[in-house]
Structure 1
Amino acid sequence: MDNIIDQIKATTLFGQLDAETIRNCLESGEFKIVSYAKNAVIHFEAETANKLEVVLNGKVAVEHIDESGELLSITELFHNDILGGNLLFSEHPVYPMTITAQLPTVVLAVEREALFRLLSENPDFLKLYLSSISGRTQIL
């Protein structure tokens, strides 16, 4: 478990949390480590966003299929990038595009209520979260 905690602490957002907090969240199931195979769909377009995800390793693509059926690659996400952070607390928290793993990928998935608790209890964590999602509002 220490290796997983180290991977989580290596992210900008969760790096300032202490190891004990991370361990407790992992043990309670509030934090989950999820692995995806290459080409696996992580989220479908119009799927409800109910957790924050941070790429721990791998490569993720944000894609959209246009009216003519063409697949458009919007952006790629790598280690430390956040997925769904700006959707989670919105009025209509749905993914506007499809998210796929372009390589074998591992993400940290944080339940919405656990994230809200951490944001409420830790002003520095809240500032980092707001800063992280503000820069990516045009994507996801």
Structure 2
Amino acid sequence: MDRVIDKISKINIFSNFTKGELLKIFDNIPYSVKEYSKGTLIRNSGERVEEFMILVNGEVITEMIDFNGKSLEIERVKAPDILASALLFAKENYLPVDVIAATNVILIYIEKKYLIKSFKENSDFLLSFLEDVGEKFNYVTEKLRITSFHTIREKITMYLLNLYNKQNKPKEITIPLTMDELASLFGVARPSLSRVISEMQKEGLFEKKGDKVILNNLKKPI
């Protein structure tokens, strides 16, 4: 379990706990471990979410089927991470997507009743869970807002200006996401995102160095 704890300690829900505290949590809670080979359908769209699912190893893809029967990739989730935590305590807790193993995958499952018991025994664990659900809600809200803009340039502009307003710094802002995560947030391919960022830098709108961005002449799209 030591190796597993080292991995899941990187997940937001568990990041504020020491290794000893995490070992104590998992020593007092029943859980099961399941392995899936690449290409396996882990969960069907429409299934109820009744277990807390921790992705320990590998990567999963979430997919939807459109009206023409074509599979649409919605998101890729890499370990370590939590799957569908926001649905766990919803009344209508049905998965809206299929969950498929993109690589060989290891998942830890904790039944809802045991998770509730652990929350009662450890209020910090409950608070951490609620904070993580809130952060994921904010992410989805941000994604919906950004995808309402048509061009990649508009998406980048609004994202950076929103960060500027939140971080309240003179000109330099810090981007908390990687390029892959930004591409996922914007719903675009990473090469396309990189190309537009490069074009905007050449135009002198901003300068990007690592996760730091210095705004020069960036204006809200009309």
TM-score bracket, shorter-length normalisation:
0.7 to 0.9
TM-score by length of 2: 0.55
Give CA deviations for 1:7-26 in whole Å, capped at 9, x if unaligned. 4445432452331331343x
**Which one-letter code corresponds to 1:22 in the other structure?**
F
Give CA deviations for 1:13-52 in whole Å, capped at 9, x if unaligned. 2452331331343xxxx21111111011111000111101
Q: Please tell me whether the aligned partners of residues 5 and 22 of structure 2 are also in contact (alpha carbons under 8 angstroms).
A: no
SS class of match (2:74): strand
Aligned residues: CA RMSD: 2.0
The residue that corresponds to 1:134 in the other structure is 134
Measure, in 2, the Cα distance between the counterparts of 1:19 and 1:97.
32
Measure, in 2, the Cα distance between the counterparts of 1:132 and 1:94.
20
Measure, in 1, the Cα distance between the counterparts of 2:64 and 2:49.
17
The residue that corresponds to 1:99 in the other structure is 99
Structure with more helix by fraction = 2
Pairwise CA distance, 1:107: 1.4
The residue that corresponds to 2:87 in the other structure is 87
Q: Please tell me whether the aligned partners of residues 42 and 101 of structure 2 are also in contact (alpha carbons under 8 angstroms).
A: yes
The residue that corresponds to 2:24 in the other structure is 20
Seq. identity, %: 27
Measure, in 2, the Cα distance between the counterparts of 1:136 and 1:108.
20
For structure 1, the 5+ residue unaligned runs are: none
Structure with more strand by fraction = 1
Cα distance change, pair 23–7 in 1 and its aligned pair in 2 (3 A)? farther
TM-score by length of 1: 0.84
Q: Please tell me whether the aligned partners of residues 59 and 104 of structure 1 are also in contact (alpha carbons under 8 angstroms).
A: yes
The residue that corresponds to 1:46 in the other structure is 46
Q: Please tell me whether the aligned partners of residues 64 and 74 of structure 2 are also in contact (alpha carbons under 8 angstroms).
A: yes
Identify the range of structure 1 (93-102 vs 126-135) with the bigger mean alpha-carbon deviation.
126-135
Off by >4 Å, runs of 4+ in structure 1: none
SS class of match (1:18): helix
Q: Please tell me whether the aligned partners of residues 7 and 80 of structure 2 are also in contact (alpha carbons under 8 angstroms).
A: no
Measure, in 2, the Cα distance between the counterparts of 1:32 and 1:6.
18
Pairwise CA distance, 1:83: 0.8
Q: Which has the higher contact order (CA 8 A, sep 6+)?
A: 1
Q: Please tell me whether the aligned partners of residues 8 and 80 of structure 2 are also in contact (alpha carbons under 8 angstroms).
A: no
